[in-house]
Structure 1
Amino acid sequence: MSADTITGTETTSRATSAEDIDALIARRVPGHSLEAPFYTSDEVYQRDLDEIFAKNWIFVAASAQIPEPGDYVTVEVGAYSVILVRDDDEQVQAFHNVCRHRGSRLLEERQGAVGNIVCPYHKWTYGVDGKLLFAESQPPTFDKSCFSLRSVHVRNLAGLLFICLAADAPDDFDAVAEKIEPYLRPYDLDKAKVAVFDELPEAGNWKLVMENNRECYHCDGHPELITAYFPLFAYEAEDITPRLKPLYDRYVKAGDALAKVRAQQGVPLTDHRELDSRVVGYQISHLPLDGEGKSFSPGGAAVCKKLLGSVKEAAFGDLSLHMQPNSWFHFLSDHAVVFSVLPTSTGTSVLRTVWLVHPDAVEGEDYDLDALTMVWRATNDQDRALVTGTQIGCSNPGYVPGPYSMVEDDVEGFVNWYVKRLGGQL
């Protein structure tokens, strides 16, 4: 498609109706970036909330963030607020953060611990299982069992917590979880400890944050990351340029060594990629790291002395997981880093990053916080600048969609999944 096929006027026009958005979806050209209204239109943003974030499984937290009964986190998704709390049976529950009396917000803090959930307005009191325990001045006919907190679908996938706000959640989560769980089992994330939690405001539409993550075409802009991370994600042998050939040869050698370690550990050896062929889209791959091959650090050295779970070998590479629509994960021998993106407005979003370590790892003895977080804090900040520039560029009347490169297949996978789900085609 030539640059003249879609004019600047068309790409920057505001989508003002469902029909306009349907037309944008219908004329989306595979292999090209999206038209500007997908990133700049308030109407598209609202449909994103309604069709993507309210109807799909979205990753919201690591279970290690709520390790004890009564521990909770709150999550904001558009107009929704959701409480995730560990109950007295140590199971994770999810509820709408709304009192059943007159609708007051129940919990304001992002995280904390409670014995019971008490409404700040009229003191209606709920157990951590959501049941109404106390409501003063009610008639004899009042039945507390009819006024439990409204539940939200929640799933714990090997220590990763997903919610779905829809009445009927997509039913292929179980099939995907069955494929992914064996890869995650050695890390024992349910018993991990949170070392650091970061929230990074992004001056860009949530999709731009996700698209940026889905490719390494720009990874030369991440000098801290590529000291250990091979910037070859989604590259095939035929994509390798002369400049990348020495790096690729090192990557192949490291991959052969990792394959032997994976076989000894007894983990699955086949990678999977179903990004746009099912509702719960995902890809999972186990990649070697450069240098020592142990962690995200200069030269691939370890950043924590204690290995996660039942991992036996420090040089265990990087298990990389992508989940549609809003998350990605890196699992190393000595720590894990989990990421989630949530929309906050048409042109803004928030990136949440959590670093997880062994539950017995002691800060200052087994790991140093700066060393643990240096690579991804730097990378996140560099990506934030790239996303900001892209949001500004997509808002420019001169923007027209451009073609993806040969190594941006996973960007296409994300965008294709998004367009299908937005249009009800998947």
Structure 2
Amino acid sequence: MLDLPTTPLKSLLNERLPGHSLPAPFYLSPGVFAADMEHIFAKHWIYVGVEPDVPEPGDVAIFDIGRYSIALVRDDDGEVRAFHNVCRHRGARLVTDEKTTVGNLVCRYHSWTYDLTGALIHADHMGPTFKRSCHGLKPVHIRSLEGLLFVCLADEPPADFDEMARRMGPYIAPHNVRNTKVAHQHDLIEPGNWKLTMENNRECYHCGTNHPELTVPLFAYGFGFAPEEMDEHDRAQAERYGCLVDTNHAAWEAAGLPSREIDELDTMVTGFRTERLPLDGDGESHTLDTKAACRKLLGDLPSAKLGGLSFWTQPNSWHHFLADHIVTFSVLPLDAERSLLRTKWLVHKDAVEGVDYDLDNLIGVWMATNQQDSDLVGLCQHGARSPAYQPGPYSPNTEMLVDKFVNWYCGRMAAHVGR
């Protein structure tokens, strides 16, 4: 890890040029990374998984946010809860497997036992004055957005989650996340700062020359373009795409599928954006032949040809909802120069692998794309280490969402440390 001179975070925030990438210490400095974990990941709503990660009572899933270990638990009443994965006796990690099923949560060290609501129900040899009710597991704030799970480590989480849920719920509900299963999960350690992973995701400027698989089902025009630089053929294609978006939005919304853009990426504490966009040609899904990867459609969706609903949240997630499957992505920082990208593919809970879907076909496009993006993130991380690095300007036509991510990040950091 590169050892940088200490620069006050306030000064670094003030150095940021609007419309430009961040000064190098934001991608390299262990001190900035520590501030990111304290002010961003410990004080905002963080996407961590889906309700189908813990489908039945007693199911437990563990994930880490920096130094925190969090246990997602489905209790006997079917409610999903979140707790700090730390025994209240002497601090031993309570659950060590990433996923497991339990009757109660039992610490292997001294057998302190907690029920699925987090209450301490057994602790030997603690004396007559010991009060079990004072030593339950520490809860973590958790909210489900139509089956997408978010946690917040702060004592008082941002209150605007309800606003996001109110506006996004109707978009996500038709895909019925709660009635899916995780067909596959892939964890990829990217060789770059978490902000570089997020910046890379927020644009498709690089897609045409780096993502041959992804650009089969996706229209390049859906992610920005510069009309003044186009020839007559490309302008005609862009106009055709614009008409296709308008026509499909009207049809989808008439059928009860909200589709039009909502963009609050840098205007809310819990920033988010969504839009349903058509796929190229006769496209149905994110596959190499653009056809549905799974024969069982989600929810009560009437057709496989319903475009792709994209949903982005600050600071660490993006999601693609198709008629036949869902792909969710979360970014969890590991250190100043490494990040964990976790991808999950969800299909109808009754879909059978090898009968209703072929796993390689289901995951192929995004497995290739994730690795390509990871390589690009690594190139940027290497570049940021160079003394020659200086923040470069974003394209106003294709990197608008990158700028909004960085605006959000700088605004939230400034809110906590000042300027």
The TM-score normalised by the length of structure 2 is 0.95
The percent of aligned pairs where both chains have the same amino acid is 49
Q: Stretches of 4+ moved more than 4 A in 1?
A: none
Residue of 396, 401, 407 corresponding to 1:410? 401
- 1:135–1:263 Cα change, 3 Å: same
**Do the aligned residues in 1 keep the contact of 2:171 with 2:259 (CA within 8 Å)?**
no
Is 1:223 the equivalent of 2:212? yes
What are the superposed Cα offsets for residues 348-395 of structure 1, whole Å, 9 maximum, x if unpaired?
010000000011111111100000000000000000000001000001
Q: What count of residue pairs does the alignment treat as equivalent?
A: 413
Aligned residue in 1 for 2:388: 398
**Do the aligned residues in 2 keep the contact of 1:254 with 1:290 (CA within 8 Å)?**
no
Is 1:357 the equivalent of 2:339? no
Q: How far is the alpha carbon of 1:239 from its aligned partner? A: 6.2
Aligned residue in 1 for 2:222: 233
Q: How far is the alpha carbon of 1:298 from its aligned partner? A: 2.4
Q: How far is the alpha carbon of 1:51 from its aligned partner? A: 0.2
Moved more, 298-307 or 396-405: 298-307
What are the superposed Cα offsets for residues 41-71 of structure 1, whole Å, 9 maximum, x if unpaired?
0000000000000000000001111100111
Is 1:331 the equivalent of 2:321? yes
For structure 1, list consecutive stretches of 5 or more residues without a partner in the other structure: 1-11
Residue of 91, 99, 104 corresponding to 2:79? 91
Aligned residue in 1 for 2:260: 270
Q: What amino acid does structure 2 have at the position aligned with 1:219?
A: C
Is 1:255 the equivalent of 2:245? yes
**Do the aligned residues in 2 keep the contact of 1:196 with 1:355 (CA within 8 Å)?**
yes
Q: What amino acid does structure 2 have at the position aligned with 1:395?
A: R
What are the superposed Cα offsets for residues 145-174 of structure 1, whole Å, 9 maximum, x if unpaired?
111100000001001000000001000100
Aligned residue in 2 for 1:309: 299
> SS of the residue aligned with 1:424?
helix
Aligned residue in 2 for 1:4: none
User: How far apart in 1 are the matches of 2:115 and 2:77?
Assistant: 12
**Do the aligned residues in 2 keep the contact of 1:74 with 1:84 (CA within 8 Å)?**
yes
Q: What amino acid does structure 2 have at the position aligned with 1:377?
A: M
What are the superposed Cα offsets for residues 294-316 of structure 1, whole Å, 9 maximum, x if unpaired?
10112421111111012112110
User: How far apart in 2 are the matches of 1:263 and 1:375?
Assistant: 28
> SS of the residue aligned with 1:166?
coil
Moved more, 208-217 or 22-31: 22-31
User: How far apart in 2 are the matches of 1:14 and 1:168?
Assistant: 33
User: How far apart in 1 are the matches of 2:308 and 2:365?
Assistant: 14
What are the superposed Cα offsets for residues 288-335 of structure 1, whole Å, 9 maximum, x if unpaired?
101222101124211111110121121100100000000000000000
User: How far apart in 2 are the matches of 1:257 and 1:356?
Assistant: 28
Give the aligned CA root-mean-square deviation in angstroms. Answer: 1.7
Q: What amino acid does structure 2 have at the position aligned with 1:94?
A: A
Q: What amino acid does structure 1 have at the position aligned with 2:369?
A: T
Give matches, 1:49-64, under 5 Å: 49-64=37-52
Q: How far is the alpha carbon of 1:196 from its aligned partner? A: 0.4
Moved more, 231-240 or 91-100: 231-240
Q: How far is the alpha carbon of 1:253 from its aligned partner? A: 4.8
User: How far apart in 1 are the matches of 2:46 and 2:192?
Assistant: 19
Q: How far is the alpha carbon of 1:143 from its aligned partner? A: 1.1
Residue of 129, 132, 135 corresponding to 1:147? 135
Aligned residue in 2 for 1:378: 368
- 1:240–1:334 Cα change, 3 Å: farther
